[in-house]
Amino acid sequence: MSKMNTSADRDRRQMFGNTRGRDLYWGFTIGVFANLATLFLIIQGGDLPQLAITAAIVGTFIFVMINSFDCLDDFKANTDDMDEEEAATNLGKKFKSNPWGFFKVVITLIFGAIAVTQLIEVW
């Protein structure tokens, strides 16, 4: 498979990376605020709508996982499209050496732990 190595391709990769980076940050932001909202409801106590809160917690976790994994896979694919000259730049070297799988594990552990602990409190 040929690499995309024209200057227009490089510009497109930069814009794509910028867009997917923004998508990743927005996904994290939505996940954090949704978790804060469900945590607030749990702290209030009383007669909790357990099923509705459970759906919100699980839905948030699934959303964050899909969003994060998709963005990280796109970053990896974008990096794989670099030609030798672009891959030799400092940014290219950094992206080529990123532990993409490790990022996925960390995201899963963080948001998974939040989801599990909230579900334990709800039930």
Annotated domain spans of the chain: 7-122
In this predicted structure, what is the pLDDT of residue 58? 98
* CA gap 12, 7 in Å, rounded: 9
What is the Cα–Cα distance from 120 to 99, expressed in whole angstroms?
32
Is 0.75 surpassed by the pTM of this model? yes
Residue 3 has pLDDT above 60, yes or no: no
Give me the residue label for tokens 């814009």.
15
The whole-angstrom separation of Cα 23 and Cα 107 is 15
Measure Cα distances from 94 to 75, 81, 111 in Å.
12, 14, 26
CA Rg, the chain, in Å?
Answer: 19
- 12-51 pLDDT tens trace: 888 888 899 999 999 999 999 999 999 999 998 878 899 9
Residue 28, classified by CB atoms within 10 Å of its CB into exposed (0-12), middle (13-18) or buried (19+), is: middle
Query: Which single residue is written with the structure tokens 């927005």?
Result: 26
